[in-house]
A and B are shown apart, each in its own frame.
Chain A
Amino acid sequence: MVELDTIPAYFADKQEVLDEILGRYPEYGRRSAVMPLLWEVQNAERYVSEARIAEIAEILGMHPTEVKGVMSFYSEYHGEPVGKYHLQVCSTLSCSLAGSDQLYDYLVEKLGIVNGETDAEGRFSIQRVECLGSCGTGPVLQVNDVYYERVSRTRCDQLIEALKHGDMPDAWRERGGDNESAEKADFLMSAASGRASTGEGEG
């Protein structure tokens, strides 16, 4: 059993953060806070150690086993540290049809790690994940919290280079269909229907 005394508690100096999270749920629903507390720790430390699991259990009046049971159910919580840049490659059908399988194989070869592994420097780790919910702009690569869409071969190299230099670009948020701004949607409508658009109230 982990000795809580030897590792300073995560929330020891973050009472406000803790109170805010616990305050989101009623007292009889205190256990709901287990997920946001796990996120809080993972966002700071890149994983949730057994000591932190025990701490969260103590805060919520749960057994460490229950916290681990919840944590391990989900794909996004990690019990081991992930890299500084955790690359999550969407692998489901639409992205696969846009080349995500080839993207994954390329990353594996280029970075020397496979699904679930972190490189020796702790810089990159890679995980094959399922549908990220941006099927129109595949292949999609999520790095930590950021979505990079339409990661073609060229852009993949650009992205990895940037990350190697410690530079994480802003999200590559593509537009498509009705996600285009008004100007572009205009073009679509006229192209589709052959009718002149009014240019108002659409988009």
Chain B
Amino acid sequence: MSDVADAPEAARPITSRRDPRYEVVMYRHVGVDGAWKLDYYRSHGGYEAATKALTQMSPSQVIDEVKASKLRGRGGAGFPTGLKWSFMPPVDGRQRLLVVNADESEPGSFKDRYIMEDDPHQLIEGMIIGCYAIQATKAMIYIRGEYVKGYQRLVGAVREAREAGILGKNVLGTEVEVDITVHRGAGAYICGEETALMNSLEGLRGNPRLKPPFPAQAGVYGLPTTINNVTTMTSVVHIITRGAHWFSSMGTEDSKGTKLYQISGPVERPGVYELPMGASFRELIYDLAGGPKGGEAKGFFPGGSSTPPLPWTDEYLDMAMDYGSLAKAGSMLGTGGVIVIPKEKDIVDAMYNVVRFYAHESCGKCTPCREGISTWLPKMYQKLLAGLGTREDLDLMEEMVRNSRGTAFCPLADACAMPVQASFKWFRDEYEFIVDNGRPMYTKNDWWEA
């Protein structure tokens, strides 16, 4: 068996945008004026994948194809999509639902928004294929309330699709029935958690639910439900078009396909970049985004504020942006939304901002999150930043986040606690400085451009 390194060029997995075999597929139309219209989409190969799936494949074949592609959910959890689809129970006469999680509220994440604004039909096409695969006739998009433009574009696209017979009782002229309802959220990060999303969709307060039962057993309205992220759906379009093999030819052992990465914080060219999985942070941050402004950064969140930050070292910059590598590094890929922490931003200040986010977004259901994350932890940061902290306070904070990890009802507490723990691990010197000196180590406090 020949070594992978000796394998012919064509057989090696694609893990870099520099690889000539790679092409941007999901964001092809983003940024193009008028790309959200049905005419445009159709004239660029739109709905051909759905037609292929509905006329040439059976639902289980679609699931198999997606399984073979090894697509993992793009919402942050990275659960294998084909496997999730196969959890739906056998058809038993009850209504089945596909729900698209377009609540994108993770700080550092902004990839879904451009799809919904500029290329809503791509999402709709993915949903048609998904509904067909899980044999659901109804789908709902839960879009965060702030994305008004995205909501309007989606509603318009759904209307166009209905009028053109792409949605409704005979999708694309087949016997398949699919229709889509777009449901606006109203400003709650926790509603991006799938069980809280279901409660919110049902018109309840957005508290997470117990699992089991899982959504496939009892989801929205107690019906069999599958919940997927926006770009999981759009990935499916291209998997059907070009095949599972094409998709799995990109990426690493445990992370396949093309993915939308984001980068924000002070870099030259922040934004969304589509890359094959396995590309390195360095490629994203330096090659594509032009590197940190002013040249110096000290750390970065690899995949949104819920992922433990990492220091700015070659070890981590050269790491592949995939699920396994980040897990091994004690962090997570999450949504792939990199946030660069410039050298001049005091880490205590930066982490206070992050903690305050979770404090605002805590749903209040369970004790450790409501009292710990949402009340006590931000106050401890305020104490440090006011110059009144002590070394004992640092120990107390570490104990507090330890008590919040794994004890809360849902992972929101972990999403706050783990980054805080990592900040202590990699930047403890800044915490010690602020308590020992009564002022932060880095004092730049004006980031606003003229």
Contacts and interface: CB of A to CB of B under 8 A. Distances in A.
Interface of A: 24-26, 28-29, 31-36, 38-39, 60, 62, 69-70, 73-77, 88, 91-94, 96-103, 106, 129-139, 142, 145-147, 152-154, 171, 175-182, 184-185, 188-189, 192-193, 195, 201-203
A130 B339 contact: no
Contacts of B361: 130
14 contacts: A24-B183, A26-B95, A35-B183, A35-B186, A60-B203, A74-B206, A92-B305, A133-B144, A134-B110, A136-B262, A136-B272, A145-B148, A182-B31, A192-B288
Contacts of B28: 201-203
B337 A135 contact: yes
Given A97-B266, A178-B27, A179-B271, 4 more contacts: A74-B188, A131-B109, A177-B270, A177-B288
Given A36-B184, A153-B450, A203-B24, A177 B107 contact: no
Given A75-B187, A92-B305, A136-B270, A32 B448 contact: no
A154 to B, nearest CB: 6
Nearest to B448: A99
Nearest to A202: B24
Nearest to B25: A201
B42 interface: no
Contact of A176 (B104, B200, B272, B445): B272
Nearest to A131: B107
A39 B266 contact: no
A32 B203 contact: yes
A136 B262 CA distance: 8
A162 B233 CA distance: 40
Pick from A178, A189, A195 the residue with the most CB of B within 10 Å.
A178
Nearest to B288: A192
Interface in B192-248: 200-206, 220-221
Contacts of B147: 133
B11 interface: no
B205 A69 contact: yes
B376 interface: no
A168 B30 CA distance: 25
Interface in B270-293: 270-274, 287-289
Contacts of B305: 92-93
Interface residues of B, number: 81
A109 to B, nearest CB: 13
A20 to B, nearest CB: 11
B270 A102 contact: no
Contact of B446 (A102, A139, A188): A102
Contacts of A60: 203
A143 B95 CA distance: 39
Interface in B315-374: 337, 339-342, 345, 350, 353-354, 356-357, 360-361, 363
A93 B446 CA distance: 14
B264 A94 contact: yes
SS class, residues of chain B in contact with chain A: loop
Contact of B221 (A28, A35, A38, A195): A28
B426 interface: no
Contacts of B203: 29, 31-35, 60, 62, 70
Contact of A178 (B33, B221, B272, B354): B272
Interface of B: 17-18, 20, 23-24, 27-28, 30-33, 95, 104-110, 112-114, 144-149, 181, 183-189, 200-206, 220-221, 260, 262-266, 269-274, 287-289, 305, 337, 339-342, 345, 350, 353-354, 356-357, 360-361, 363, 445-450
B110 A130 contact: no
Nearest to A38: B186
Nearest to B275: A178
B185 A74 contact: yes
Nearest to A174: B271
Contacts of B206: 73-74
Which 4 pairs across A and B sit closest by C-beta, in order of nearness? A177-B271, A99-B448, A176-B271, A75-B187
Given A33-B203, A193-B18, A133 B446 contact: no
A39 B110 contact: no
Nearest to B270: A136
Nearest to A25: B181
Contacts of B20: 195
A134 B111 CA distance: 9
Contacts of A176: 269-272
A157 to B, nearest CB: 11
A180 B203 CA distance: 38
A99 B242 CA distance: 43
